Amino acid sequence: MANNGVALLLVDVLDAFFAPGRPAYYPESVNALDPIKALLTRAREQDRMVVHCVERHRPGLADFEHKKIPVHCEIGDDQSPYVAGFEPVDRPRELEVAKRRYSSFFGTDLDMTLREQGVDTVVVGGVKTNVCVRATIQDAFANGYEILLAREATNSNRPHLAEASLEDIDRYFGSVVSVEQALERL
């Protein structure tokens, strides 16, 4: 298999965070879309593995996450669709990993899937920096992956927490790089 070593993880590029009027929406989220699109385009051009890590909660069932935040991204609701143009395409190296917690690794088969494909490095983009992106990166680190977070391809409605998370990610878990540097690795 060509180009195994590097995969792109896109975290929660869903209407819930990017469409006005949704409970998790915040206006700055859209600033990450062009950089995320650049990463996605390059990954597809280079036949890299692309994993769309997205929240998928079960309708009508209690969910531990909802003790802290509003109900969102229930399967089939108006918040769970992908942002237009960011949907997975039909190719073997592009898939969706449904998650019910902040981390894309917790309770999913993401680690096993990446390892089976020979991936040792992940480039990450998505929202929110201080919640799902950070949790995913911490677990990627705990599982032994090299991590590159494209700074322009993430943000949060809590900028001070996003900045603190970027500092921690760069110091302890991986590398916070420019989108141009991330594109070079893809």
51 compared with 22, residue with greater pLDDT:
51
Q: What is the pTM of this model?
A: 0.94
61-68 — which CB contacts under 8 Å span 24+ positions?
A: 63/100, 64/101, 65/100, 65/101, 65/102
| Mean pLDDT computed over 159-183 | 98
The secondary structure of 18-64, three-state, reads HCCCCCCCCHHHHHHHHHHHHHHHHHHHCCCEEEEEEECECCCCCCH
What pLDDT was estimated at residue 140? 98
Assign 31 a pLDDT band (cuts: 50, 70, 90): very high
Assign 13 a pLDDT band (cuts: 50, 70, 90): very high
User: What structural domains does the chain harbor?
Assistant: 6-185 (3.40.50.850)
What pLDDT was estimated at residue 157? 96
User: Over the stretch 114-156, which tens digit does the pLDDT of each residue have?
Assistant: 999 999 999 999 999 999 999 999 999 999 999 999 999 999 9
Flag whether pLDDT at 10 surpasses 50: yes
Flag whether pLDDT at 2 surpasses 70: no
